[in-house]
Structure 1
Amino acid sequence: MSAPARRAALVYAGPALGGLALLPLLDFRANRIVGGDGVMAWAATGGSAYATALLAALALGTILSGSQVLRLALALAALALLGWMAGQGAEALMAETSEFARVSLGGGFWIAAAFLALAAADAAARIGLRAMVRIALLAGPVAALALALQTGFFDDLSILREYDANRDVFDAALAGHLRLVLGALVPALLIGLPLGWLCFACPRARAVILPVLNILQTTPSIAMFGLLMVPLGALARSYPGLRDWGVGGIGAAPAIVALALYALLPIAANTYAGLSGVPAAMREAGRGMGLSPARLLAQVELPLALPVILTGIRITVVQTIGLAAVAALIGGGGFGTLVFRGMGQAAMDLVLLGTLPIVALAIAASLAFDAMIEATARGEAA
């Protein structure tokens, strides 16, 4: 392994080991909202000392290994062992306590999990795995986690108890979050793609469009929601029939409009960049074949610009998935409902119940778009 790769491995594995050594793996509390006592990794269960030593050995192996493939395997094995320790530790702590007690994942777990995941991602990137291979590789841990959840291995963790108590709310939040993302993405594409083409075709229009979109992008989300509440509320009062379509000063309508406005800049800017990057020789060849401007755009320019355009859409989707959480502040629904409810109740596991699905959706969307971008890029090369 090269010196830069070894330094990267040290950057990821070092904090993972430090987090486990200095911070608790689990947090045990007498009930849902009171402060708890930290439980270190080596003290969670009777066999945790051996498991902790093995986990440390796996993390050190990611630093010392000369093979990126072995480094990837060691990081994934360490993540699996870390999850096993959390589940087993929670079961042991809950064995002789009341039903009101809670066991949460501690700071040591989150730091170790985050940096081990980064170590695995870095190794996969250095190997040069294609997006579809990365998706297939990720399917293994996801399937293992799904199996563990299905068998009840993690049921003693507080976040699973929060899920059981808020199952209906969670399902509604998932549906609401997807509705917000899709509802914002469709109009953003319908508006942003033509704006990007206009920026490419007309420099004068570009000098106006991109600065305006930059201003929209830098407007704080809360301020954007507030600005939209007034006109949409007035519109609903003037035309009461619009309320049947969900249009109003609060709710999903202002949230979708705001999210769509935020999505315009990445789509328009990348469409402009992609079209600008088409080689002039390809355009001349198309004109020489007698293609009209419309056919030249459809058959030559757009296919060549597609990887860059998809990159902008990828940025937009990931950004929208994250921003949609704020929509809960104006009654827009989504996973932000769980996040803000948990903050109001000082129940951090409820906050996590709303946060982790957002992260998972963003990662899934990113990987899916990576696969599409690689496929279109290979199509161009062929």
Structure 2
Amino acid sequence: MSAPGVAFALTGLALLLAPFMTLAANRIVAGEGVAPWAVAPMAAGLPGLLAIGVGLMLGLVRALPRLRLGGAVLGLAGAVWLLAAGGPSLLEGADQYARVSPGAGFWGLLAVFVLLMADALAQLNPGPAARAGLLGLGLGGLAILLGSGALADLSVAQEFAGRSDAFVAATLRHLALAFGSLATAALIGFPLGLLCHRRAGLRGAILPLLSFLQTVPSLAMFGIMIPLLSWLAATLPAARAIGIAGIGFAPAFIALVLYSLLPVVGNTVAGLASVPPPANEAARGMGMTPPQRLYRVELPLGLPILLTGLRIVLVQNIGLAVIAGLIGGGGYGSFVFQGLNQTATDLILLGALPTVLLAMVAAIVMDILVDLSRPKGRA
């Protein structure tokens, strides 16, 4: 019997006593909690309840990780089934402004089954190709679920329906902030890391400075950027012409680049330093020049550590880009802070949920790339 599985099962059963969904008079007021067995008629809700219970029980079998993985998927399907059945049932006969939302019980069960899935996958230890396939299946299933309209009665779906164009624009801006700052940091950080690796004196000066930048809180960093870029835009018309201003995209982008430099530079130094000395000596013995040794020996052997630095930066920046909404930087943070101002929880979720999903997908994809970059003997 799996010890984590026992903990997940007990937690899941306890969560079945919590409100699974909430019914509110409108999008702003607090909703009234509804138990999982009361969100829909028994005929509609029973399959979901059974799937949740069976999924929790399957998670107990430690010797069969594939069975545990199947239990996690079954439990997730049961929770979603119950959510889809509960939406129209709770809204039937309610006021036209009424809203239904997932409750604490649903979010708790979602966390339990995701953790159970992660524990089962850790036991299975699938290779990069298998992980990529599982990720594709998961994203495909999510796309089918959202496209089917089964969850269209939920309040967060209605928030999206009224802001679909703004959501697309926010998605593009969030991707530009996260991936654009990553690319810029890589262009600056890789050469700087190479110089730090070659020259110990420069490394002793640069790395402490970049470490200090990491200690500055994100809100303070964005705040520092505002007067600096405002002055720059007022002083240089050319800067103003290309869109640099005290608020908006530019300060958020520059702040994210500054936060990204330490992981990129530090991991570049660590990756190049991890190359075994005999490999470099052999390359010298073959008559390779320093640039040839860099591109043929040092970079290929240090690539996993370099990619690990990029993984840290990408996941970090996806999350930090939400804060950019405070200074007009756009992205999913605009929905989060609008929701906070309006006390509209589901509008907050419209920004928070895709941020979490994007960060998880980015982390998994980068982990796959790190594994693929390792020499076969060291994988």
Q: Same fold (TM over 0.5)?
A: yes
- The Cα of 1:380 is off from its aligned counterpart by 6.6
3-state SS in 2 of match to 1:69? helix
- The Cα of 1:245 is off from its aligned counterpart by 1.2
Pairing of 1:16-95 with structure 2 (within 5 A): 16-21=12-17, 23-47=18-42, 48-49=45-46, 51-95=48-92
Pairing of 1:1-382 with structure 2 (within 5 A): 6-21=2-17, 23-47=18-42, 48-49=45-46, 51-378=48-375
- The Cα of 1:35 is off from its aligned counterpart by 1.6
Aligned identity (percent) is 42
Output the CA distance in 1 between the equivalents of 2:179 and 2:142: 27
3-state SS in 2 of match to 1:51? helix
Report the RMSD for the aligned CA atoms in angstroms: 1.6
Structure 2 contact 174–332 (Cα < 8 Å) conserved: yes
Output the CA distance in 2 between the equivalents of 1:72 and 1:140: 14
Structure 2 contact 51–74 (Cα < 8 Å) conserved: no
1:76-100 deviations in Å (ceiling 9; x for gaps): 1110111111011112111222221
1:288-345 deviations in Å (ceiling 9; x for gaps): 0111111111110000000110011011000000000001111111100000001111
Structure 1 contact 13–119 (Cα < 8 Å) conserved: no
1:51–1:328 Cα change, 3 Å:
closer
1:345-376 deviations in Å (ceiling 9; x for gaps): 11110100001111111111112111211111
1:110-136 deviations in Å (ceiling 9; x for gaps): 011012111101111111112331231
Which amino acid is 2:27 matched to? R
- The Cα of 1:15 is off from its aligned counterpart by 2.3
3-state SS in 2 of match to 1:64? coil
1:192–1:82 Cα change, 3 Å:
same
3-state SS in 2 of match to 1:10? helix
Moved more, 123-132 or 330-339: 123-132
TM, length-normalised to structure 2: 0.96
3-state SS in 1 of match to 2:33? strand
3-state SS in 1 of match to 2:23? strand
Moved more, 299-308 or 224-233: 224-233
Moved more, 263-272 or 194-203: 194-203
1:212–1:13 Cα change, 3 Å:
farther
3-state SS in 2 of match to 1:342? helix
Which amino acid is 2:35 matched to? M
Output the CA distance in 2 between the equivalents of 1:269 and 1:20: 46
Which amino acid is 1:17 matched to? L
Structure 2 contact 61–67 (Cα < 8 Å) conserved: no
TM, length-normalised to structure 1: 0.95
Output the CA distance in 1 between the equivalents of 2:378 and 2:63: 33
Output the CA distance in 1 between the equivalents of 2:10 and 2:201: 52
